[in-house]
Amino acid sequence: MSPVSDDDVSLPHISDNDLKPFYVLHKASDCQQRVKKPVGRSSRKVKVNLSASLATSDEGEMQDDQLHENSRMKNFHNAWVKIESTIKDVLHNINADVFNEVDSWVHKSFDSICSNGKPDANKATCAYPIVTDVTAKQIFTALVVMNNMEFVDDLQTFADLGTHLQSHGCHVANLSSVDFSVKSGIGGCLRSLLRQILSSSIDVADISVLASWYIEHDNYKHPVVVIIEDMDRCSGPVLSDFILMLSEWVIKIPVILILGVATTLDASKSILTSKAVQHLSPSKFFLGSPADRLDAIIKAVLVKPCSGFLVGHKVAGFIRNCFLRQDGTLTSLVRAVKMALVQHFLMEPLSFAVNGLLDEESEESTSVAEAWPKQAFDLPSCSRRLSEPKSEVALDGPSKMIEVMNLWSCVVLCLHEAGKKQKTTLLDLYYEALDPKLYNLRHSDHLELKPDSQRPSWIQGINGTSSKMQKGGLIGQTTRQVRDLSPAALLQLVEKWSKQTDGFIEIHEKVKELQLQEKIEDDTLKELANRSRRQTIRNSGNLDRSTKTLNDKAAALISCMTRDHMQPIECIPFHEIVCFKNVDKLQAALCGDPRRRIQLDLLECHNFLKCSCCGKSSNAPSSSMHDTTLMYTLAQEHGDLINLHDWYQSFRAIIFQKTVKERHRMKVSPSPKKRKMTAEPQNITEASVQARFCRAVTELQITGLLRMPSKRRPDFVQRVAFGL
Amino acid sequence: MDENDMIDEEEYEFSRNYFLAKESGKSVKKSSAHKVSELNLADEQELRAEVSNIEPRHEKEIALLINSYKKLYNEWVFELRYGFGILMYGFGSKKTLIEDFASTALTEYNVIVVNGYLQSINLKQVATAMAEVLWDQLKMQLRSASGGTSRDQQPFNSRSMDDLIAFLDEPHKTENECLVCLVIHNIDGPGLRDSDTQHLLARIAACSHVRIVASIDHVNAPLLWDKKMVHVQFNWCWHHVPTFAPYKIEGVFHPLILAHGGTSQSVKTASIVLQSLTPNAQSVFKVLAEHQLAHPDEEGTCLTFSVFKIHHVLGDIWYD
C-alpha cells in the first residue's frame, strides 16, 4: 500500500457540492413547463408507470394504461377538491354564528371609539401623547375561547375569521405567538403588523407609520383588527408592551384586539402585566367544541359519500385511534383522509372507474357509468360473489352501489340521531357500522332464525335472545336506548328519522307508518286523559304500556334498518374501486417510526440486502455481515454501557472468523505489520479492522443509537435504545 | 381492550429491557475494565487513510436496493405535488437516492440542495437562493406570456427573511405552477438541529411555491417538531427507505473513536471546515494565509497578528 501523502486528502466520491452548505441542483426545465398542463401529473419523464400492468408489450394496452392513469389522477384531484371544499363549508357553517357575533361586536366597538372623535389629519399630526384621559385608552378586546388545548385546529379558524372581517371592511392583521417572542421583541410583532396592514415591506418598525397610513384616503373609516391566534403561547412582557403601546395610540388608530385563548379566560391576567390588563376592555366569545366539529366533518366527508371515496373498516379504526389516542386534532384526521385518498388513487389501478361516481351532480346528469370495466370482475369482492352458490345474485353496476351506500349512510345517521341523547359520537358509530363481520353476523343470525314473519324477528333480535352482536356493540346499545326514550323524545326522534330517510322509499314508508301510529296513539291518549282526569292512576298504566309498545316498535324499526339496509362498503362487490383498505401503508406514511424501524434495519439487514453471503434465516453474527449491523447485533449483548475494548475484540474475532476457516489452521500472525505486507486480497490488517470499527461506531452515532464516551468513562460508549 | 393490552405489553417489554440492560451493565462494568489503550491501535493518520480506503461490501445488493426504490419515484412526485413533504428515513446514507430522485423525477421543479450534515448552514442564504431561482422562472414565464419586460425586483440578498418568505408564499399569476423543491440531507443534522432553525425551515416549507424533500438519520429526529410543524407546515409523508450505503460524507465530521484524542486534526478536516464557511469568511482566511506566506519571517510562524494588523490586512474585504 502506498503511503498516504498529505496531497491525497480529497475523499473519494466526495464532490465539491457535498461540502457546500447548499447549492442549486438544477433549475426548472423550461420546455417541459410549457408542455405541462396546470393540473396534470408532473412526472411523465420518469419511466416508471403506476399501473400494475406495466409489462404489457401491446401498444394499445399501454395507451389504455396511460389514459387510465390520467383519469385516476383527475379523479383524485376532483375527489380532493370536493372533500376540501366540503370541509371548508362545514367549518364555515359551524363558525358562522361566532364570526357574525364577533363582526358586529367589532363594528360596535369601532363606533364607540369613534364617538370620542374620529381620527383626522390634525389629530394624527398633533404632538404626542394626545390622550390624557385614562378611560379613553381602553382597547376593545375579544377573548375567543377555543375549547381546545390543541391550537393546531384553530389556526385555520383564526385565518378564516380574519378573512371574514376583512370582507366586512376591517383592516386585519393575523399575528401568532411566533411574532411575540422575546427574541424578536416588540419590533418583531410591530413589523409583522405593519407588513400585513400596509401590505408592503417596512424597514423601520414604528407605530407612527401606521398612524400616518391610517389617515390617508379612506382608511380611517374602518377599524384595524389585530388577531393573535394563540395568546397563551406569547411572551407575556412583549405582549404587554404591545398592548401598552397600542393603548397610547388608540385614538389615532382605533385598534381592536382579538385574542385566541386555549386555556382559561383568566389566562390574560396571568400572562400580561397588571398595567396592560387595565387597558383591556374584554368581551368573551366561544368557538364550537372540537367534538361537534369532528362529528360534522365525519358526517359530511366520510358518512355521506361526498367524493366517491370511502375508507374500509380497518382504516376507519386507524383514523379513530389516531384521533382518540394519539393526537386528538382534526388537522391530523383531515391529513389522514387526504393521505388515504392519495394512496388509494396511487395504488388501485381500477380507481380510474370512479369517474364522478357518488357525485350528486353527476348522478343527476346521468354521467355515471352503466357498468364497471371488465377488469373489475377479477376483483376479490366480485369473484367471491360469483363463486357463491347463489350466483344468480346480480352483479350490479355503479348506480346500485350508490344506492346501497346512500342507504347505509342514511341508517348510520338515523342511529346517530338515536344515540345523540347518550352522547354517542358519530366517529365510534361510523367505525362500528363499517364492520363487515358484524354485518355478516347480523345476517347469519337472521337466517338461522328463519322467522315466519319479519316483525317478530326484529323484536326477538332486540330482546337479545339470539343476537350476539347486539349485546355489546354501540349499535346494539343505541337500539336499546330507543326503548327507554320518553314519549316526547321519541316523537322528536321519529320526526328526525322521517327527515333523514326522505328519498329512501323502503325505509321512509316504515318511518311514516310509525309516525302515523304515534299520532293515533297520541291522540287517543290525549282523549283518554281529557275524558277521565280523575282516574289518573289507572290511566297512567295504560299510557305507559302504549308508549312502551311504541318504543318497541321504533326500536324494532331501527334494528330492522340496521340489519337490512346498513350494508358496509366492504360487503359490496367492486368496493375495491372506491374503498381504501390498506391500513398498514397509511400508517407507515402518516407516522414514521424511526426509532423502531432503524433498529430493525440493523438487526434484520438480510431482509433488505438479500445477499447470498450471509446466513439466510438467522441473524447470528458473521464476518460477511454489514459492519454496522454486525456491531449493533454485538451491542445487544452488552448492558447500557459498552466497553469499547471488549466490543472491538468481539468484532475483530468475528471478522477474522472466516479467514481462519478458509485458511485451515493458519495461525494469525501476532504482528499486524507482517500480515499487512502479504499481497493476498483476502488479507485483513489490524488497522483496516480498526478503521471498519471506527466507521461502524460513527454510523451508529449518526443514527443516535449510541452516545460517545464521556470524560468520566472514556472507555465506554452508552446504548440509547433498549428494545424496539 | 386488545390494543391496550398490546401497548401495556410493549411498555412492559421496554422497561424490562431497560432494567436488564442496566443490570448487565453493572456486571459488565465490574468484570470488564479493559481500556482502549490496551489495544494495539494504529496511529491516527493510518487509521484515517484506512477509513477512506475501506473496501466496499455488498455493493451489488446496495445498488439493487437503491434501484428498487425507483419505482416509487412517481408516488413521491405525486405526494409532493399535492402538498406533502417527503421525509425519508431508514439506515444508510440516502444522499445518492434523494439526489437521483431529484435529478430524474423533479426536472420540472427548481431544486436546491441543503447539506444538513455540515456544521453551519445559513438559512438566509438558502432562502435568498430559492427566491432568486423562483424569480428567474417567474420572469421567464411573464416575459413569454406578455412579450414585454417584467417589473424590476429589489435584489433578494438585501431583503429580510420575512420578505423572502412572503415572496415565496405570495400568489404569482402565471400560466404554470412554479415550484422550488428544497432537498435537505439530514434535516436533523448538527447545523439544523436547533429549534429556531427548524421553525424557520417549517415556515419556508409551508410556502405555496415550496416543496420539501428531506432525510433523517437520528432515531429521535421527530422530537424536533411540534404538531403545527408536522401536520400543517412540513406535512410529512414518511418513507422508510433503508439503503445500507455508507455514511461517507455524513460521517466525515465525526472523530474516529479509536483515534487518540484527536489532537492532530488532519488537513482534510481543516479543508472541509474551510469549505463549509461562507465565501466572505473563506476569503478572510485566504488573505490571512497569503499574508503569512508572504511574510514568513515576521513574528515567527504562528498567527500572532495584532488587532491593528488584522484590520490593516483585511481592510479591503471588510470595507468593500
Chain A residues with CB inside 8 Å of B59's CB? none
Domain spanning B59-144+158-240: CATH superfamily: P-loop containing nucleotide triphosphate hydrolases (3.40.50.300)
* Residue A201: predicted pLDDT: 65
Chain A residues with CB inside 8 Å of B99's CB? 25
Kindly report, as residue ranges, where domains of CATH 3.40.50 are found in chain A: 116-288
Gap from A67 CA to chain B (nearest CA, Å): 16
Gap from A180 CA to chain B (nearest CA, Å): 14
- DSSP structure class, residue A23: E
Instruction: Report the CATH number of the A116-288 domain.
Output: 3.40.50
Q: CB–CB of A202/A192 below 8 Å?
A: no
From the list A21, A701, A705, which residue is nearest B254 (CB)? Answer: A701
For A:461-490, CB contacts with B below 8 A are: none
What does the alpha-carbon distance between residue A487 and residue B33 come to, in Å, rounded to a whole number?
82
- Please report the DSSP string for chain B in residue order: -HHHHHHHHHHHHHHHHHHHHHHHHHHHHHH----GGGS-PPPHHHHHHHHHTPPP-SHHHHHHHHHHGGGGHHHHHHHHHTTPEEEEESSS--HHHHHHHHHHH-TTSEEEEEETTSS---HHHHHHHHHHHHHHHHHHHHHHHHSSPPPP---GGGS-HHHHHHHHHS----SS---EEEEEE-TTSTTT-SHHHHHHHHHHHTSTTEEEEEE--STTGGGG--HIIIIIII-EEEEE-------HHHHTTSPPTTSSTT-S--HHHHHHHHHTS-HHHHHHHHHHHHHHHH-TTTT-SS----HHHHHHHHHHHHT-
* Residue B22: predicted pLDDT: 66
pLDDT digits (tens, 9 = 90+) for B92-147: 999 999 999 999 999 999 999 999 999 888 999 999 999 999 998 888 887 776 65
Helices (runs of H) and strands (runs of E) counted in chain A: 31, 11
Average pLDDT score over residue span B199-211: 93
Chain B residues with CB inside 8 Å of A13's CB? 248
Q: Which residue from A minimizes the CA distance to B164? A: A201
What does the alpha-carbon distance between residue B206 and residue B84 come to, in Å, rounded to a whole number?
10
From the list B48, B95, B110, which residue is nearest A27 (CB)? Answer: B110
> Does A423 contact chain B (CB < 8 Å)?
no
Going from N- to C-terminal start, the domains of chain B cover 59-144+158-240, 263-315
* Residue B37: predicted pLDDT: 77
Among the listed residues A244, A241, A243, A122, the one whose alpha carbon sits nearest the alpha carbon of residue A185: A241
CA angle A710, A716, A717 (to 5 degrees): 75
> Does A597 contact chain B (CB < 8 Å)?
yes
Inter-chain contact A22–B220, Cβ cutoff 8 Å? no
Gap from A622 CA to chain B (nearest CA, Å): 14
Inter-chain contact B26–A12, Cβ cutoff 8 Å? no
pLDDT over 70 (residue B263): no
pLDDT digits (tens, 9 = 90+) for B277-312: 888 888 888 888 888 888 776 654 444 555 556 666
* Residue A539: predicted pLDDT: 53
Inter-chain contact B276–A49, Cβ cutoff 8 Å? no
Inter-chain contact A28–B179, Cβ cutoff 8 Å? yes
Residue to substitute from A9, A13, A22, interface B, most B β-carbons within 10 A: A22
What does the alpha-carbon distance between residue B182 and residue B127 come to, in Å, rounded to a whole number?
10
Inter-chain contact A643–B122, Cβ cutoff 8 Å? no
For A:314-343, CB contacts with B below 8 A are: 321, 327, 329, 331-332, 335, 338-339, 342
Inter-chain contact B35–A645, Cβ cutoff 8 Å? yes
Chain A residues with CB inside 8 Å of B257's CB? 644, 693-694, 697-698, 708-709, 717
Chain B residues with CB inside 8 Å of A709's CB? 257
Inter-chain contact A721–B252, Cβ cutoff 8 Å? no
CA angle B159, B163, B169 (to 5 degrees): 140
* Residue A136: predicted pLDDT: 63
The SS3 call for residue A118 is coil
* Residue B152: predicted pLDDT: 58
Q: Give the three cell numbers for residue A497.
A: 328519522
> Does A628 contact chain B (CB < 8 Å)?
yes
What does the alpha-carbon distance between residue A653 and residue A248 come to, in Å, rounded to a whole number?
78
Length of chain A equals 724
* Residue A388: predicted pLDDT: 61
* Residue A467: predicted pLDDT: 42
Q: Which residue from A minimizes the CA distance to B75? A: A346
Task: Name the pTM for this structure.
Answer: 0.79
Q: CB–CB of A585/A326 below 8 Å?
A: no
Lowest mean pLDDT among A196-200, B1-5, B224-228: B1-5
What's the average pLDDT block by block, 10 residues per block, for chain A (724 residues)? Answer: 38 73 85 41 36 48 74 84 90 89 89 68 49 66 82 84 89 87 84 82 74 77 87 87 86 85 82 85 86 87 82 90 80 89 86 62 48 71 64 61 85 88 85 84 60 39 40 77 83 86 82 80 69 55 65 85 84 84 91 91 88 71 87 87 90 76 48 42 77 92 89 85 76
Q: Is A718 exposed, middle or buried (0-12, 13-18, 19+ CB in 10 A)?
A: middle
